Amino acid sequence: MSVILVFLLVIAGFAGWWLSHQRLTAKPWLEQNLAGDFVGFDRSSLPTAKIGLGVFLAVVGCLFSLFTSAYFMRMGLPDWQPLPLPRLLWLNTGVLVLSSVALQCAVIAARRGQTDNIRLGLATAGFTAVAFLIGQLVAWRQLTADGYLLASNPANSFFYLITGVHGLHILGGLVGLGRTSIGAWNEARPERLRLSVELCAMYWHFLLFVWLCIFALLAGWAGTLIDICRGLLT
Amino acid sequence: MVDVTPADAVPPAEVGEVELYHPHSWWTKYVFSQDAKVIAVQYSATATAIGLVALVLSWLMRLQLGFPGTFDFITPEAYYQFITMHGMIMVIYLLTALFLGGFGNYLIPLMVGARDMVFPYVNMLSYWVYLLAVLVLVSSFFAPGGPTGAGWTLYPPQAIMTGTPGGQDWGIILMLSSLILFIIGFTMGGLNYVVTVLQGRTRGMTLMRLPLTVWGIFTATVMALLAFPALFVACVMMLLDRVLGTSFFMPAIVEMGTQLQHNGGSPILFQHLFWFFGHPEVYIVALPAFGIVSDLISTHARKNIFGYRMMVWAIIAIGALSFVVWAHHMYVSGMHPYFGFFFATTTLIIAVPTAIKVYNWVLTLWRGDIHLTIPMLFALAFIVTFVNGGLTGLFLGNVVVDVPLSDTMFVVAHFHMVMGVAPILVIFGAIYHWYPKVTGRMLDETLGKFHFWVTFLGAYLIFFPMHYLGLMGIPRRYAELTDMTIMTESAHHLNSFISIMAFIVGFAQMVFLFNLIWSIRHGREAGGNPWRATTLEWQTPETPPAHGNFGKELPIVYRWAYDYSVPGAKEDFIPQNVPGDFAPSREPA
C-alpha cells in the first residue's frame, strides 16, 4: 500500500499548501464587516472548470495508484510470471505522445486565436488517440495469440486490467474532445473554446503521464527502481 | 447601544460565471432537475426508501436471533443474506448517500451563498447513476439464488464460492456492479460538492466563516473521493475473479472436492483495499454528522460554538488521520505485530481531535440558553451515544483487546453505537431542523417527541446489552446459537428482549415517516427563519427557497456563522449577511 500512501502524501502536501494560504488561524468572531478585505480569499482566479478537472484528475490518480499498490502486493507472491511486453507498445507510446503534443499545439493556437490551427491540432489529437486505442487492442490480440491469456497468470491479468482501465479513460476523454471539436467547427465563443481546448490538453497530458508510469510498471522498471530505493534505505 | 450601519463601499456580489439552468417543463423541474435542492430531495427519498428495506432486514435478523427455530423461512442462507444487505445498504446506500447526496446538495449552495452547484448537469447525472445503483442492488433480491450472503465486507474467497448464497449465482455480481455504479455516481456528485465550496462562495464568505456543517461535508467529500477508488479497485478485481476466472484474490482452493482453477491469489490484498476504503468511510459518515451537530447545538443553545478554529482543525486532522488507521480492522488477519502496534497507535491518536470536538460541544452547552427543541434533543442524544461508542472503540483499537473480542457481539454493539445510531440521530435532528426550510412547515412536535424518546432509549436498550453479550463471548455472524453451552438462559432472554426493542424502535420510525408526509400539508407554517438562526440558508427571500436561492442579488457575508447572544445586539442572533460591528472587544460606534 506504499504507492497509494505516497500519492496521498502528495495530495496532502498540496492541500496543506492551499490551506496555509486560507488564513486558518483567523479569529472569525473578531472580524466583522471586512467583506471588502476578504475578496482575495473568496475564490481562486482559476476557471471553475479547471479546478473541477483538477479534482477529478486527483481521483483518477488515486485509482491508478491503488492499482499499482495492488500490483506490487500481488507481485510478491510466488506464482507471478512476468509477461514479455509486445514491442508495439513502444509505437503506441509514441502515438500517445504525438496526441499530447498536437493538443498542446491546439492550446497555443487557441491562445493566439488561430481557428484553423486549433482545428488541425484537435483533429490530429483525436486521430492519434484513436490510433493509440487501436494499437492497444492489437497488442492485446498479439498477447492472446501468443497464449498469454487473461486468467493464466496474475501478471497477465494485471496487464489487461490496467491497460484496459487506462484505455477506458482515453475513450472518455475522446467524448470531451469530440464536444470541443464540435465547438471548434461551429465557431464557439473564442474564450469558451480556449478553455475547452485547455481542459482537453490537461486531461491528455495527465493520461500520458499515467501511461508512462504504467508502462514503466508493466515493463518491470518500476520494480527495479523500488529495489534500488530499498537497497539505499536498508 | 450599537446601530446597525450598512457597510459602505462594498459592491454587490456579482452573479458568478455559473449560468443558471432554467427548467421549461414539469419533467425538467421535478424529475430531471438540475436544481441542487430538488436533487437533494430525490437523493434523500431514494436513500430513505432503500433504508426501509434495510430496516425490515434487521427485523428479520432479530426474529431469528431472538426466537431461534421459530421461523422456518429464515434459513441460515437467508440469515446471511439479511446481514449482508442490511450492512451494505445502511453504510453506503443510506448513510453516505443521505449525508453527502442529501444534506450536501441541499445545504452547500444555500450555506455558502451560491445559486446552485457549479456543475448542475453532472450533479443531476450523479443522482440518476445513484438510482441505477440502488435498482441494481434491489434487483439482486429477485435474481436466481437471491442476493449475496458474503457479509457486508464481501471477503474473498468465500464471497464468490458455492457455499455462500449468491456466490456462484447472480447475487455477488449484482452487488459488485451496484457498488461500481454507486462510486461512479458519487464521484460526479462529490466533484460538485468540493468545487462548489471552493469556487461558489459568495462575497465575504471566507473559509473561516463557513458553518461547520459545510466544513464537515466538504472534508468528508474530499475523503470519499480519495477512499472510494479503493473499493472500486477491489470490486473490479473481484468481479474479474468471479466472472473471468482471474486470481487476484483467489488462492488455490478445493471446493466440494474439486480443485478450482484459481491459483495463488491473496485474500489479504482484498482486505487491505477494502479497509483502505472502509475506515475512511466511518469518518465520511461521521464528519458531516460532527458538522451538523455543531450547528444544531450552537443554534439551539443560542451561543456561539466553543473553539471554532479548533473545530475546523480537528475536522481536517481527523480527515487526514483516518487514512492511516485502516488495518485496525485486520488485527486478526495474522499481520506482523509491528504493523499492529503502528495501527493501534494511529487509532488511539485519532481519538485526540475527536475528543476535542466532544469537549467543545459540551463547552458550547455550558451556560447556554438551551432550548430543548427536537433537533436539540437529538443533538444531545448524539453526544452521549457517540461518546459511548467512541470509548468502546478505544478498547477495540488495542490489539490485545481486539483479538478476543473481534468475532463477538461486542464489535456489533460498538460499531452500531458509533456509526449506526449516532449518525442516524444526527440525521433525525437535521431533518427536524431543516424540514421547515425545505417545505415551509414545521414537523409535528408531539409526534417528534415520541419519535425521539422511543428511538433514543430504544436504541440504547438494543445496543447496550449487546456489549454484555459480546463480553460473554457470544459470537457474531452465527445464524443459530441454540446448541452452544456458551448461550446461557439469560443470554437467550437478553436476545429476545433486544429483538422486541428492535421492533418497537422500528415502529417509531413509521411514526416519523407519517410525520414527514403529514406535515407537508398539515404542519404549522414555519416562516423563513423559525429557529432564529444566523446562517445564510435561513435568510432566503422565499421559503422554500426558489430556483436560484437568493432572489436578484446574492447575499454579502459580514460575519461568521455563530453570532448568537452578542452583547449589545437587539436580538439574540445576527445573521451572517447583516453588516455592523457588535464585537464586545471593540469600542461601540
> CA–CA separation, A136 vs A167, rounded Å?
8
Pick from A33, A189, A210 the residue to mutate for testing the B interface (most B CBs within 10 Å): A33
Q: B210 to chain A nearest CA, in Å? A: 10
> CA–CA separation, B45 vs B51, rounded Å?
10
Residues 514 through 533 of chain B touching chain A, CB cutoff 8 Å: none
Q: Which residues pair with B475 in a beta bridge?
A: B408
B510 or B335: whose pLDDT is higher?
Answer: B510
- Tell me which DSSP letter residue B329 carries: G
pLDDT higher than 90, residue B433: yes
pLDDT higher than 90, residue B42: yes
B564 lies within 8 A of chain A by CB: no
Q: Using CB atoms, pick whichever of B118, B232, B583 lies closest to residue A52.
A: B118
User: Where residue A208 sits, what CATH number does that domain have?
Assistant: 1.20.120.80
Q: Mean of the pLDDT values across residues A19-28?
A: 84
Q: B7 to chain A nearest CA, in Å? A: 7
Lowest mean pLDDT of A45-54, A195-204, B509-518, name the range: A45-54
Lowest mean pLDDT of B65-74, B136-145, B292-301, name the range: B65-74
**pLDDT value at position B21?**
64
The complex's ipTM works out to: 0.93
Instruction: Report pLDDT digits (tens) over A92-105.
Output: 999 999 999 999 99
pLDDT higher than 70, residue B14: no
Q: B533 to chain A nearest CA, in Å? A: 16
Q: What domain count does chain A have? A: 1
Q: By the 8 A CB rule, do B342 and B273 touch?
A: no
pLDDT higher than 60, residue A25: yes
In B416-570, which ranges are continuous DSSP H helix? 422-439, 445-472, 489-522
Q: Using CB atoms, pick whichever of B10, B269, B324 lies closest to residue A70.
A: B269
> CA–CA separation, B56 vs B301, rounded Å?
36
Residue-range definition of the domain harbouring residue A218: 2-25+34-233
pLDDT higher than 50, residue B7: no
Q: With contacts defined as CB-CB under 8 Å, which chain A residues touch B240? A: 150, 157, 161
Task: Tell me if A151 and B244 make a contact (CB, 8 A cut-off).
Answer: yes
Cα separation values, A151 from B202, B225, B237, B266, B450, Å:
54, 30, 12, 15, 58
Lowest mean pLDDT of B8-17, B57-66, B105-114, B543-552, name the range: B8-17
> Closest residue of A to B206, CA-based?
A42
Task: Tell me if A66 and B273 make a contact (CB, 8 A cut-off).
Answer: yes
Q: Using CB atoms, pick whichever of A30, A48, A77 lies closest to residue B195.
A: A48
Model pTM score: 0.94
Task: Tell me if B209 and A77 make a contact (CB, 8 A cut-off).
Answer: no
C-alpha of B35 from chain center: 22
Instruction: Report pLDDT digits (tens) over B554-584.
Output: 898 888 999 999 888 888 899 998 887 765 5
In A76-153, which ranges are continuous DSSP H helix? 88-112, 115-145
Q: Which of A56, A117, A228 is nearest to B221 (CA)?
A: A56
Q: Using CB atoms, pick whichever of A33, A52, A154 lies closest to residue B119.
A: A52
Instruction: Report pLDDT digits (tens) over B404-428.
Output: 999 999 999 999 999 999 999 999 9
Lowest mean pLDDT of A46-50, A58-62, B273-277, name the range: A46-50
Q: By the 8 A CB rule, do B552 and B572 touch?
A: no
> Closest residue of A to B249, CA-based?
A74
Q: Using CB atoms, pick whichever of B119, B272, B559 lies closest to residue A32.
A: B559
Instruction: Report pLDDT digits (tens) over B67-110.
Output: 988 888 999 999 999 999 999 999 999 999 999 999 999 999 99
B171 or A187: whose pLDDT is higher?
Answer: B171
Q: Which of B381, B476, B478, B392 is nearest to B430 (CA)?
A: B381
Q: Using CB atoms, pick whichever of A27, A29, A35 lies closest to residue B558.
A: A35
Three cell numbers at A212? 508512462
> CA–CA separation, B255 vs B260, rounded Å?
7
> CA–CA separation, A167 vs A211, rounded Å?
10
Cα separation values, B355 from B48, B290, B379, Å:
31, 12, 16
Lowest mean pLDDT of A90-94, B297-301, B478-482, name the range: B478-482
Q: Which residues pair with B274 in a beta bridge?
A: none
> CA–CA separation, B334 vs B272, rounded Å?
13
Task: Identify the H or E element spanning B400.
Answer: helix B399-405
**pLDDT value at position B141?**
95
Instruction: Report pLDDT digits (tens) over A93-142.
Output: 999 999 999 999 999 999 998 888 999 999 999 999 999 999 999 999 99
Pick from B195, B306, B578, B582 the residue to mutate for testing the A interface (most A CBs within 10 Å): B195
C-alpha of A81 from chain center: 28
- Tell me which DSSP letter residue B201 carries: -
Q: By the 8 A CB rule, do B130 and B43 touch?
A: yes
Name the residue with cell 494511529: B346
Q: With contacts defined as CB-CB under 8 Å, which chain B residues touch A47? A: 17
> Closest residue of A to B264, CA-based?
A79
pLDDT band at B482 (very low <50, low <70, confident <90, very high): confident
B584 lies within 8 A of chain A by CB: no
> Closest residue of B to A30, CA-based?
B583
B198 lies within 8 A of chain A by CB: yes
pLDDT higher than 70, residue A57: yes
Q: A21 to chain B nearest CA, in Å? A: 11
Q: Percent of chain B having pLDDT more than 70?
A: 95
The Cβ of residue B568 has, within 10 Å, a number of other Cβ atoms equal to 12
> CA–CA separation, B340 vs B171, rounded Å?
34
pLDDT higher than 60, residue B184: yes
Task: Tell me if A30 and B222 make a contact (CB, 8 A cut-off).
Answer: no
